[in-house]
Amino acid sequence: MSPYPPTIETPYFTRYDDVPFGTARHNGDTVTLHCSIFSPKAPKTPPPLFVWFHQGSFKFGDHNHKLFRKLGRRLTMAGIAIASVQYRLSGAAGDLSQTVLDNIGRIKSTQATLLRPGLCQERSLAALEDGVRFLQWAGDNQTTFGWGDKRVVGGASAGGITAFNIAYLARHLGLPEHDIQGVFSATGSFNYPDFVDPGRNLLSLAVHNPTETRVPIDGVQMMAGKLGNRFELLRSDRHIHGHCELAPGERPAKTFGRISSFIKRATE
């Protein structure tokens, strides 16, 4: 039984808001980081955990946003747990761990120009550290919340960038490499072609607009080329930045069914 009181209980899910999962340096202080969780009610087997990161250019946004709550209600109906992770916003070099600082020069020397600089500088690495920190906490708290050992990471825009960074960049910064089975991205990207490892046994699903300018499609196209049939890229010139729908008006059952089917396929 979880020691954290639920915020909402329904016949289909239990929701926990603002559960603390760790601390980190931020602007000279130590801050507590939180996550919010939707857990399916009475699953037959421990569900996979979908770890979600919000959008906002690593400067704005909140883990308790509307899209997360839509995802939570829909995915728990499919037997999937989901956690939305708070990460430090506008992180600076002084906020990073010594391990990352020791390796940052090497990764900067290999990065491409697939993203504008602000999306692959220190503030993105602070978010990466917090995502890795959460995955450790999630593993330590499997029994507490009842989820299994399968993980898919995902997010929108900056959150999608964070998900790909967890999958392919973390180990090159000396951070723990957690066993994840998949990555879902809505307008995300990756800026380190040399680190895309076809040997990693995980699936990816990305939705993107070919005419997108804030986070161009180039990064996910590069990954699709390197990863072949393990990377599915869905393109739509009607896709809206950071949305999970391929186009306005797409039925929610189709949008969220696509995501839940992908998570189940990645974790089966």
Q: Give the per-residue pLDDT at 1.
A: 57
Average pLDDT, rounded, for the chain: 97
- Biggest alpha carbon–alpha carbon distance for the chain: 52
- Report yes or no on 13 lying in a domain: yes
- Report yes or no on 165 lying in a domain: yes
Q: Give the per-residue pLDDT at 243.
A: 98
* Phi, psi of 26, rounded to the nearest 5 degrees: -155, 115
Task: State mean pLDDT over 239-248.
Answer: 98
For tokens 């939705």, name the residue.
207
- Report yes or no on 2 lying in a domain: no
- Report yes or no on 30 lying in a domain: yes
- Report yes or no on 65 lying in a domain: yes
Residues 132 and 161: beta-carbon distance below 8 Å: no
Q: Give the per-residue pLDDT at 212.
A: 98
Residue in 172, 165, 178 with CA at minimum distance from that of residue 223: 165
Q: What is the pLDDT confidence band of residue 200, given thresholds at 50, 70 and 90?
A: confident
Q: What is the pLDDT confidence band of residue 2, given thresholds at 50, 70 and 90?
A: low
Task: Give residue-wise pLDDT tens across range 24-83.
Answer: 999 999 999 999 999 999 999 999 999 999 999 999 999 999 999 999 999 999 999 999
Q: Any idea what the CATH number is for the domain that residue 119 is in?
A: 3.40.50.1820
With a CB cutoff of 8 Å and minimum separation 6, the contacts of 57 are 118, 119, 157, 158
- Report yes or no on 209 lying in a domain: yes
pLDDT of 3 > 90? The answer is no
Name the domain count of the chain.
Answer: 1
- Report yes or no on 1 lying in a domain: no
Task: Give residue-wise pLDDT tens across range 174-197.
Answer: 999 899 999 999 999 999 999 999
Task: Give residue-wise pLDDT tens across range 96-116.
Answer: 999 999 999 989 999 999 999
214 CB neighbour count, 10 Å cutoff: 13
- Report yes or no on 3 lying in a domain: no
Q: In terms of residue numbers, what domain contains 223?
A: 8-267
